Amino acid sequence: MTPATSSKPIDPPLSPDEGEATCEISARFDRTRLDHKTELTEDYVEMIAELIEATGEARAADLSARFGVTAATVNNTIQRLQRDGHVNSEPYRSIFLTDKGRDLAEACKRRHDVVESFLLSLGVPDEVARLDAEGIEHHCSQATLEAMQRHLSQVEAKKE
């Protein structure tokens, strides 16, 4: 069937209000997709920093065990992190964060701590707050983090 003879109705053009609403929804999904895209990078640099702090080194085998993924998955991710300037690595050697990777890991840790502390201040049980913070931290805007921090400061002020 050619387009001219199609029996499928053609959607009318969107009104200005509908077009604006569609753009808002699209922007929200775009942000979520971008957050998901950076989530893996953030998780890896954060884990590498934790391993280096705890054991003095980060090895691909340690990352594989911690994330529950194959060595091939870790190697592919490390190659991408290296290409993006977050890590330095050589075959059969430890993985090291670059300044860029270290800065990102520190920012992720601070963001995680704020989200977890905020959830705890709401009365969320420790283990649940820790687990929930791991997912939420990747999707909080700077404005939301600042609001959480203000809330935490108010809670602390009330304790004094």
Q: Which residue has the tokens 């993985």?
A: 95
Q: Span 3-23, mean pLDDT?
A: 53
User: pLDDT band for position 64 (50/70/90)?
Assistant: very high
3-state SS string over 146-157? Answer: HHHHHHHHHHHH
Domains of the chain, first to last: 19-159 (1.10.10.10)
Given a cut of 50, whether residue 34 has pLDDT beyond it is yes
Given a cut of 70, whether residue 22 has pLDDT beyond it is no
Q: How crowded is residue 42: how many other Cβ atoms within 10 Å of its Cβ? A: 20
CA–CA dist 95, 73 (Å, integer)? 15
User: What pLDDT shows up at residue 155?
Assistant: 87
Burial class (CB in 10 A: 0-12, 13-18, 19+), 18: exposed
Q: Span 44-56, mean pLDDT?
A: 95
Q: What is the pLDDT of residues 68-96, one digit of tens each?
A: 999 999 999 999 999 999 999 987 889 99
Q: In this structure, what are the phi and psi dihedrals at residue 127, rounded to the nearest 5 degrees?
A: -65, -40
pTM: predicted TM-score of the whole model, two decimal places: 0.73
User: What pLDDT shows up at residue 23?
Assistant: 62
